[in-house]
Structure 1
Amino acid sequence: MPDRVLVAYGTKNGSTAQIAEAVAEVLRKDGLDAEALPAGSVTAVEPYDAVVVGGGLYAGRWHKDARRFVRRHRRSLAGRPLWFFSSGPLDASASERDIPPVPGVRRAMTELDVIGHATFGGRLEEGAKGRMARMIVRSGRGGDFRDFTAVQAWADRVGQELTAAGRR
């Protein structure tokens, strides 16, 4: 059974980090040794048996740290069970329907044989970094659209797949 799971994430304002922490917490409840780390701080994936990578969406692209993580560790990721998640829609759409990965994430999924992907709502609130983010908040289109029940259910499916793979 894969025991050690890395949940690496790229985030600008902390919303994706909180989702990654929630994913790692569920995986730990499923009996796995999971830790969530900023993607930019991970130097090696070899110590992990499986990896989950998450990125906040900005202008139709994953956060640069998530993109760089996947490029930098491409060879090591290819040999491990791998899942992706995205966060970012600033409305209820992610809770209402399955949102496909953005093109760059979809390409990486195909190249690395990613097992699954989910898109979760994002959060953008007062104090957000970046000129565009502040404009969105000022216009009244910000808020917290994350659905942690959906995050936990998805993470539990990942955990079940990993523990089931260990029983084969």
Structure 2
Amino acid sequence: MTTRVLVAYGTKSGSTAGIASTIAEALSEQGLQAEARPAAEVIEPAVYDAVVLGGALYAGRWHRDAVRFARRHRRDLADRPVWLFSSGPLDASAGERDIPPVRGAARTAELLDARGHITFGGCLLEGARGRIARMIIKQGRGGDFRDTGQIRSWAQGVASELKELQVERGSEGR
């Protein structure tokens, strides 16, 4: 039986959606059935065997759609493995060191007993919506700091853990 994985995300300008798609693609390449969907649109996460939940960072806060998803579905998520990711730093720092989760992501990790959290670099490009985003770009601090190699490597680690869990559960049933 193929493990079904939901990669749910909260995003404002699409950068986090791109990361979620990369994660889903990497999981699929490892033989898992994975799909990326906006967290606000997911009605029933219980149909998935595992969940990866991501949220964009804005002013030190985790995206509200990711926080709401976790609260709304915490019972369904309690009996399946969950991993979290954040996207946001508009510099190379996420590729250089481990960045701890912001308060909202840390609370969610605790609430869901998440197996892990990682912060990836973010992306803010010309045409982004919002006064603050336009100000950041005008100051020359925008850019694309997502590291596809880092994202894919992390997703492959998630896939490995899921395969190990599947083997463990299979041997327990014997």
Verify same fold: TM over 0.5.
Answer: yes
Residues 8 and 20 in structure 1, CA contact (< 8 A), matched pair in contact too = yes
Listed one character per residue, the Cα deviations across residues 126-167 of structure 1 (whole Å, up to 9, x for unaligned) are 000111000000110000111110000000000000011111
Residues 39 and 65 in structure 1, CA contact (< 8 A), matched pair in contact too = yes
Distance 1:5 1:50 in 2: 5
Higher alpha-carbon Rg:
2
Confirm whether residue 58 of structure 1 aligns to residue 58 of structure 2: yes
Q: Match of 2:157? A: 157
Aligned residues: 168
Confirm whether residue 90 of structure 1 aligns to residue 90 of structure 2: yes
Confirm whether residue 25 of structure 1 aligns to residue 25 of structure 2: yes
Relative CO higher for 1 or 2, CA cutoff 8 Å, sep ≥ 6?
1
Correspondence 1:1-168 to 2 at 5 A: 3-168=3-168
Q: Match of 2:172? A: none
Deviation of 1:2 after TM superposition, in Å, equals 6.5
Distance 1:144 1:22 in 2: 15
Deviation of 1:111 after TM superposition, in Å, equals 2.1
Distance 1:121 1:2 in 2: 31
What fraction of aligned residue pairs are identical, expressed as a percent? Answer: 62
Q: TM-score, normalized by length of structure 1?
A: 0.97
Residues 39 and 65 in structure 2, CA contact (< 8 A), matched pair in contact too = yes
Which structure 1 segments of 5+ residues have no match? none
Matched residue SS, 1:117:
strand
Matched residue SS, 1:28:
helix
